[in-house]
Structures are given as structure tokens and as C-alpha cells.
Amino acid sequence: EPEVTQTPSHQVTQMGQEVILRCVPISNHLYFYWYRQILGQKVEFLVSFYNNEISEKSEIFDDQFSVERPDGSNFTLKIRSTKLEDSAMYFCASSLAVLMGDTQYFGPGTRLTVL
């Protein structure tokens, strides 16, 4: 069964460093998403991406964040200068379309720890 994959599973970085989180969405899916979940808190939407551009972003997704689809398979989230409060699980998701009924499938997540 096709699945979303993410690497690395755990990333430890120093405050102020840049990190890139990688995702490979399900191959025939067209819409891609990043979510964040701080430990013990709710899942928070960061950004959605379609046709090589951002289609929606939340208030969390400020200038420190960027997304890219550098080739036909990878979808990346870059945090330019990490802060302590960026420590969280980051989930990538993908969906075939963005209609009301379409389901988003989640990757296993990357745990980011900022020291």
C-alpha cells in the first residue's frame, strides 16, 4: 500500500541553525501539506502546496519557513533559523485532490529538537 515517507525520523539541531525536513508524498497525489504538533498539543496546519506553489499557509508559517518540491518526488520544509519553540513533531501529508471528501494521508513524522 502506498505511503508517505519522511526523513529523518529525528533531527537535533542548535538554535539558529537551518534544518530541512524531507517528505516523499504518495506518488499520484497532487496536494501536499505540512503540519506541526508540539508535544501534548493539537495538530496545527502550517502550509499546503499544489502545482509548485503555496496554496494556503497559517500564521505559524512565517518568513522563517519555506517549502519546495525540488524534483518529482520530494517535498521539503526548511526552517531558516531555528528557535527553541520550533521543537515539535512535523508531519507531512498528501492527498489526491482537495475536494471536500478527499482524505489526507500522513507520514510518520520528524521529531525536531532544538537545543
Q: Which residues bind another protein (CB under 8 A)?
A: 41-45, 48, 55-56, 89, 91, 98-101, 103-109, 111
User: What are the DSSP calls for the chain, one per residue?
Assistant: ----EEE-SEEEE-TT--EEEEEE--TT--EEEEEEE-TTS--EEEEEEETTEEEEE-TT--TTEEEE--SSS-EEEEESS--GGG-EEEEEEEES--STTPPPEE---EEEEE-
Q: Which is nearer to another protein, 15 or 97 (by Cβ)?
A: 97
Task: Compute the least distance from the CB of residue 104 to another protein, in Å.
Answer: 6
Q: How far is the CB of 62 from another protein (least distance, A)?
A: 18
Nearer to another protein, 58 or 76 (CB): 58
Q: Which is nearer to another protein, 65 or 91 (CB)?
A: 91
